[in-house]
Amino acid sequence: MQSSHTLNQDDALEQISQNVDFLTQQLHRGRRIGRFPRLLEHEYLRARNRRFLEIDRRIIAGGLLFYLAFCWSDILLGGASAQLLVSLRVGFAAVLFALLWWVPRSFLAPYMMVVAAVGVFAAGASVLFFITLIPAEMRFAYHLGMVPIQVFTMVALRLSMRAMLTVSLGLFALYVLLLLLQPLQTGQAEMDQILMVFVPLFVSFWLMLIGLGAYLAYAVESGARNDYVQNRLLTLEAVRLKVLTRQLHELSTTDSLTGIANRRYFEQQLDIEWRRAIRQQQPLALVMIDADRFKDYNDCYGHQQGDICLQSIAGVIAAHCQRPADLCARFGGEEFVLLLPGSSTADAARLAEKIRLDLAALQLPHERSEAGFCTLSAGVAAMIPAVGEHSDELLRRADRRLYQAKDKGRNCVVSA
Ligand SMILES: Nc1nc2c(ncn2[C@@H]2O[C@H](COP(=O)(O)OP(=O)(O)OP(=O)(O)O)[C@@H](O)[C@H]2O)c(=O)[nH]1
């Protein structure tokens, strides 16, 4: 007989195995940063965003401070627009700081990577906008300002490859647009000659940086996805181990035929309760129960039917085992025990009598028994144990009374 609890555990193990197979497949698929199947992708993005929020809020704050530090260049190079540039820079940084610190984390978490990508894009776009405001001969310096922004996008933020490429190519496109709309010429021949060399070099340098960034983002993202799956597998293995340990514990303490505790577990509990009874000087009661004429039952109805009968008897006994400390167990063969901490002999005898009557009420046919149906005999004993006494004494007393019950003609409870 398998308990529903065991079935649930088997279901849980089956579910774990399916999940392990599914995740292992993800590890072995060809494309390393392709999206996971829908649900897993959703969970991955949630976990990634949570980590991103924890780690990268400080990095973004550092980036913003770095961005703010360039107020000095606005003042030095901005000419008539210096004040405007500083105000725009400080205002922009303040808005992002406020967003990072005052918007609740729980609200920001799902969008953190998008916020970071939009933030860095806006920072880059602001620098490009500043270029349009400063004197022509100083502009090239601000072109160089795009380098730290690109590096920050690539390295510090650890954006997904898609986000990194979107931000980088977006800024690059804006830069090209700016070059088309606002030629670099300063009107100074020597300066313009240098810029003619500088700009193509800068453009190709930037494109190379984006290529390198894409490769880095690919490596980081595929590693992160791999780690995520490996971590999920480790968690599943830990859960599997827990379920198996619990199952092993149940197997070693449960009687496989009846589903109630086995003798080994009973003996452990008897030892524990015996010592507790000594400490607390409380009574400990034991009922030994034996099916009557069970050899005849087997001979008459077959061993299989005998097993079913033993399950019914165990069911009746278990139904009366209601207090948390009460324990019923199969002692062996057709013999059962009931351990009742805190119960007196009279209490335990009353309970044993109820069990006897309940089994009789089932009227399980047994043509070779005196009653014509299945019955049981029980011996009851209770003790307030003293230091130095052994729990075997309680077992002996209950067993002796069980024999007395058999001698009295069976189908009865003896408690004195
Ligand atoms: N079907 C079945 N029978 C069992 C199991 N364990 C023990 N038995 C049988 O239970 C019977 C016990 O017989 P006995 O010890 O002679 O006692 P009894 O026939 O019940 O007679 P009394 O105890 O004197 O009433 C034996 O025939 C065992 O084979 C079991 O798991 N399943």
Nearest to 298 by CA among 310, 288, 313: 310
Q: How many CA atoms lie within 13 A of 277 on its CB side?
A: 28
Protein residue whose Cα sits closest to atom 16 of ligand 1: 295
Residue nearest to ligand 1 atom 1, measured at CA: 306
- Judging by beta carbons within 10 Å of its beta carbon (0-12, 13-18, 19+), is residue 42 exposed, middle or buried? exposed
**Ligand 1 atom nearest to 296, measured from its CA:** 19
Residues 81, 133: Cα–Cα separation, whole Å: 6
131 lines ligand 1 (CB under 6 A): no
Does the CB atom of residue 310 touch ligand 1 within 6 A?
yes
* Cα(157)–Cα(60) distance, integer angstroms: 7
Report which ligand 1 atom has the smallest distance to the Cα of 294: 20
N-term to C-term CA, the chain: 36
311 Cα–ligand 1 center, Å: 13
The domains of the chain, with CATH numbers, are: 4-238 (no CATH), 263-414 (3.30.70.270)
Q: What is the dihedral of CA 400, 406, 410, 415, to 10 degrees?
A: -20
Phi and psi at 340, nearest 5°, equal -130, 90
Is the distance from the beta carbon of residue 57 to the nearest atom of ligand 1 less than 6 Å?
A: no
DSSP secondary structure, 322-379, as one string: -STT-EEEEEETTEEEEEEET--HHHHHHHHHHHHHHHHHHT-B-TTSSSSB--EEEE
Q: Are 162 and 113 in contact (CB under 8 A)?
A: no
Residue 59 makes CB contacts below 8 A (sequence gap 6+) with 156, 157
Whether 32 lines ligand 1, by a CB cut-off of 6 Å, is: no
Picking from 262, 254, 272, the residue whose alpha carbon sits closest to that of residue 341 is 272
Q: Is 288's C-beta closer than 6 angstroms to any atom of ligand 1?
A: no
Determine the atom of ligand 1 nearest the C-alpha atom of 257: 31
Can you read off the two tokens belonging to residue 408? 């009295």
Q: Which token pair is 153? A: 């996008």
**Among 256, 292, 295, which residue has the most ligand 1 atoms within 8 Å of its CB, making it the best to mutate?**
295
Digit-coded pLDDT (tens) for 20-58:
999 998 888 765 566 888 899 889 988 888 777 766 778
Q: What interhelical angle do 112-133 and 82-102 show, nearest 10?
A: 170
pTM to 2 decimal places: 0.64
With a 6 Å cutoff on the Cβ, whether 292 touches ligand 1 is yes
Q: Which of helix, strand or coil describes residue 408?
A: coil
Question: To test the ligand 1 pocket, which listed residue (263, 334, 401) has its Cβ within 8 A of the most ligand atoms?
Answer: 334
Annotated active-site residue in 237, 334, 370, 389: 334
pLDDT of the chain along its 416 residues, tens only? 445 555 588 888 999 999 999 999 888 876 556 688 889 988 998 888 877 776 677 888 888 999 999 999 999 998 899 999 999 999 999 998 888 778 877 777 777 778 888 989 999 999 999 998 988 888 888 888 899 999 888 887 778 888 899 999 999 999 999 988 887 777 788 888 888 888 889 999 999 999 999 998 888 888 888 999 999 999 999 999 999 999 999 999 999 999 999 999 999 999 999 999 999 999 999 999 999 999 999 999 999 999 999 999 999 999 999 899 999 999 999 999 999 999 999 999 999 999 999 999 999 999 999 999 999 999 999 999 999 999 999 999 999 999 999 999 999 999 98
Task: Tell me if residue 237 is catalytic.
Answer: no
Tell me the C-alpha distance between 377 and 395, whole Å.
15
